[in-house]
A = this chain, B = another copy of it.
Amino acid sequence: MKLNTKSRYAVMALADMAVFSNDNAVSLRDISLRQGISLLYLEQIFLRLKKNNIVKSVRGINGGYILVKSPKELKISDILIALDQKVKTIGCKKDSKKSCNGKSTKCITHNFWDELDIHINSFFENKKLSDLLKNREARI
């Protein structure tokens, strides 16, 4: 039950942007240096964030990325969705005819896993990027 590093780094990088952009574009190079995340990896991550309209890019010298929404409005769930990090704790699809074990009826645990997914997703839905910035003791 782990979150993958792409999602983790995405949240981290966006939090970095929220702190350090002063209405300027933030370059991946700066994020990389501040957060200790590989620049090449960040590029891959931001590609997806851009495609999902979470950031927009500014090319050329002094370029970088800008948050499309304000941190107060950016839900963490949006970030995870952008990185395909579905919170689907088990493989069984709600609408699929096949259940988890190949039978036609849903197994006894099905509803339980559904509840779990809802429980986790609601956490991400209700958290905004700005929530991460409150009460931070450590320097970023």
> What residues make up the interface of A, taking CB atoms closer than 8 Å to B?
1-4, 8, 11-12, 15-16, 19, 35-37, 85-91, 100-103, 105-113, 116, 119-120, 123, 127, 131-133, 135-136, 138-140
A37 touches B89 (CB 8 A): no
Contacts A85-B1, A89-B2; is A116 near B109 (CB within 8 Å)?
no
How long is the Cα–Cα vector from A107 to B5 in the complex, in angstroms? Answer: 14
B120 touches A8 (CB 8 A): no
- The interface residues of chain B lying within 8 Å CB-to-CB of A135 are 111
Contacts A101-B35, A103-B36, A120-B119; is A109 near B1 (CB within 8 Å)?
no
A105 touches B139 (CB 8 A): yes
